[in-house]
């Protein structure tokens, strides 16, 4: 079966990246050690890679192979620590990132995956896909 082009990892990362590029960085220029784009993509990587310490995992892989998944797959140049990532992400308004959810769900709906999110209430009413 041919994979759906709109829901491949590459397509999803492209959608994340194009959403993150124009976001304004709320930090002062003297406080920027990590690009906001890299920080946001490394946050997405945490969801995909499911490792308790993203930075430790990537450092170990980079030491063994010379490159890590954050560079090769996600295009992240600099990886902030977990506490730095939380501090940076806390400063970015959620409304600016929130547009990704309906865009992703629209892709899932077109791919036929939305039916997996349907719920039937105890009253027997089908709530449909979110």
- Going by C-alpha positions, the residue among 71, 48, 47, 50 that lies closest to residue 59 is 71
- Delimit the domains of the chain by residue range: 5-98
Which long-range CB contacts under 8 A does 47-54 form with residues at least 24 apart? 48/9, 53/82, 54/79, 54/82
Helix (H, G, I), strand (E, B), or coil: what is residue 50?
Answer: coil
Question: Looking at the whole model, is its pTM more than 0.85?
Answer: no
pLDDT in tens, the chain (130 residues): 455 677 888 888 898 888 888 888 888 878 778 888 888 888 888 777 777 777 777 777 777 777 777 777 888 888 788 888 888 888 888 887 788 888 888 888 888 887 777 777 777 655 555 4
CA angle 103, 109, 110 (to 5 degrees): 95
């Amino acid at each position: 079966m041919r994979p759906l082009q709109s829901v491949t990892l590459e397509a999803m990362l492209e959608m994340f990246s194009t959403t993150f590029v124009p976001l304004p960085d709320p930090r002062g220029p003297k406080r920027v050690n990590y690009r906001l784009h890299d920080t946001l993509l490394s946050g997405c990587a945490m969801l995909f890679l499911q490792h308790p310490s993203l930075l430790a995992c990537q450092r170990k892989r980079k030491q063994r192979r010379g490159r890590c998944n954050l560079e090769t797959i996600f295009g992240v140049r600099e990886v902030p620590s977990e506490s730095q990532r939380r501090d940076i992400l806390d400063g970015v308004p959620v409304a600016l990132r929130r547009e990704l959810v309906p865009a992703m769900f629209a892709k899932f709906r077109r791919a036929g995956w939305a039916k997996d999110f349907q719920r039937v209430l105890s009253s027997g009413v089908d709530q449909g896909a979110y």
